[in-house]
């Protein structure tokens, strides 16, 4: 390893021949894809060349050191691939929009509108005026009272009674 650390290509060639099969075996067990395993094993061998000066004989043998680097690099590759797949899945989920049937929605809206008109016809004229001013013109109770020149408590009573009748007619449950 000292010779490899000093850039000795023959020493690295011997190291490569001795460790490459073991490194590849470790990597393929983790990664499970031959092409990616070959790539990761190659990266590990390059790491061994670049990090040769960091090897400490007192911490373990060269094969143990190489096996540790190989395993870590393989796990990193698997995690990276999983994270990329998760990101793609999340992006696809964000981009997916539920399609809706526009014709069915228009029919439903029209039916609801007709039901509201029918239920409004079931109100007294005074209730219909108050509800129409409040809900279709957006007036407040006070503004409805001023528009109809009627006391505010009377308008509130008409609105309450009219809305109760509308609720019952529409079949809304509270």
Which pLDDT value is given to residue 171? Answer: 85
Which pLDDT value is given to residue 110? Answer: 85
pLDDT tens for the chain, 174 residues long, are: 999 999 999 999 999 999 999 999 999 999 999 999 999 999 999 999 999 999 999 989 999 999 999 999 999 999 999 999 999 998 888 777 655 667 777 778 888 888 888 999 999 999 999 999 998 889 999 999 999 999 999 999 999 999 999 889 988 776
2: nearest Cα among 68, 56, 44, 45? 56
Q: Is the dihedral of CA 101, 104, 107, 111 positive or negative?
A: negative
């Amino acid at each position: 390893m000292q010779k490899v650390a000093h850039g000795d290509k023959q020493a690295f060639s011997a190291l490569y021949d001795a460790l490459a099969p073991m490194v590849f075996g470790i990597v393929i067990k983790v990664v499970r894809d031959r092409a990616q395993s070959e790539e990761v094993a190659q990266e590990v061998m390059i790491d061994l060349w670049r990090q040769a000066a960091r090897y400490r004989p007192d911490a373990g043998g060269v094969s143990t050191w190489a096996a540790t680097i190989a395993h870590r690099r393989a796990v990193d590759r698997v995690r990276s691939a999983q994270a990329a797949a998760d990101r793609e899945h999340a992006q696809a989920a964000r981009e997916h929009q539920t399609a809706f049937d526009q014709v069915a929605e228009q029919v439903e809206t029209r039916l609801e509108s007709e039901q509201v008109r029918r239920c409004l016809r079931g109100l007294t004229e005074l209730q219909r005026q108050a509800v129409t001013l409040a809900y279709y013109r957006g007036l407040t109770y006070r503004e409805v009272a001023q528009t109809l020149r009627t006391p505010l408590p009377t308008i509130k009573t008409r609105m309450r009674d009219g809305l109760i009748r509308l609720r019952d007619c529409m079949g809304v449950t509270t």
